[in-house]
Amino acid sequence: MGIEIERKFLVASDAWRAGVSRSTRFSQGYLSRDPARTVRVRLAGEQAFLTIKGATLGAARAEFEYAVPVADARALLAICDGPVVEKVRSLCPYEGMTWEVDEFLGANAGLVLAEIELDTEDQPFARPPWLGAEVTGDARFVNANLAVRPFTSW
């Protein structure tokens, strides 16, 4: 079983842009937004994935991700529960770790979040100077929730 251990933070400044190694546009929608299990379809550039995630316990949850044909992902996005979330994800290496910075578009425009995936919940990591407040446990910042209660509506 795959386990995802992830911490999420607001981004406090644009200084992260200087360290970007790669950026990809994402379109993602949810076939299930049940907190006990989410099922997401995602277009990431020219690739597509179906992801099943279990309930979050602390910063960890079960995660299973499978590549799917792009045409299938486009068809699945059309039948998702709620609007599609659009964002650009940039990879930002910092002191031996890679941060994923998501710059949201559309109804979530103005929201910029940074995530780091860890091997253990207590793994130490260096915090880049552009990192803001941690929002790991705040359900408002979960992508499945941003689909139906976008940032611009808060």
Closest CA to 28 of 70, 87, 71: 87
What tokens does 110 get? 């103005």
Give the list of residues 6+ apart from residue 116 with CB closer than 8 angstroms, or none: 6, 7, 97, 98, 99, 100, 125
Q: Is 105 exposed, middle or buried (0-12, 13-18, 19+ CB in 10 A)?
A: middle
Report the distance separating Cα 145 and Cα 126, nearest Å: 28
Determine which one of 9, 16, 26, 30 is catalytic: 30
Active site residue 66: no
Instruction: Kindly list the catalytic residues.
Output: 30
